[in-house]
């Protein structure tokens, strides 16, 4: 089985990756990263190398999925369904009091429409 990390090049994405690695070890599962950045492949070579190093250190292979879907929430949900993942790990951004009432549209879409459990994490140091 597979743990899917919805990754973006931001503190929330890095926290999701850290927790996704822990979850993959706990479940003895593979780890799949879906890049939900601004573009399909907005990760530069240095960031890809850093991701690969982090996963190699954790004993996992770097597997990044891309999607032709423009909406990142749709891409995560569709990939999760196609690959039969066990859990989706997403990062949450810090929000103001008003912002706490309204989740980001991508997070909201994933939480409401995913057909598997979703683990939402937040970086501590924001």
Residue that wins the pLDDT comparison between 24 and 123: 24
Give pLDDT, residue 88. 97
Give pLDDT, residue 115. 95
Render pLDDT for 4-49 as a digit per residue (tens, 0 to 9). Answer: 999 888 888 889 999 999 999 999 999 999 988 655 556 778 888 8
Answer whether residue 102 shows pLDDT above 70.
no
3-state helix, strand, coil in the chain (%, to 5): 45, 20, 40
Give pLDDT, residue 26. 94
Render pLDDT for 51-87 as a digit per residue (tens, 0 to 9). Answer: 888 888 888 887 887 766 778 888 899 999 999 999 9
Interior/surface letters 65-81, b for 16+ CB within 10 angstroms, e for the rest: bebeeeebbebbbbbbe
pLDDT band at 98 (very low <50, low <70, confident <90, very high): low
Give pLDDT, residue 66. 72
Asked if 84 and 92 touch (Cβ cutoff 8 Å), the reply is: no
Give pLDDT, residue 101. 52
Q: CA–CA separation, 59 vs 125, rounded Å?
A: 26
Asked if 31 and 20 touch (Cβ cutoff 8 Å), the reply is: yes
């Amino acid at each position: 089985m597979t743990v899917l990390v919805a990754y973006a090049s931001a503190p929330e994405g890095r926290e999701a990756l850290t927790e996704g690695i822990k979850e993959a070890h706990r479940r003895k599962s593979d780890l799949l990263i879906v890049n939900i950045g601004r573009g399909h492949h907005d990760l530069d070579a240095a960031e890809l190398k850093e991701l690969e190093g982090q996963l190699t250190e954790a004993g996992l292979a770097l597997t990044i999925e891309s999607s032709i879907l423009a909406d990142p929430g749709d891409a995560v949900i569709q990939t999760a369904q196609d690959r039969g993942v066990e859990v989706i790990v997403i990062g949450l951004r810090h929000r103001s009091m008003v912002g706490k009432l309204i989740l980001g549209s991508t997070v909201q879409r994933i939480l409401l429409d995913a057909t598997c459990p979703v683990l939402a994490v937040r970086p501590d140091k924001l």
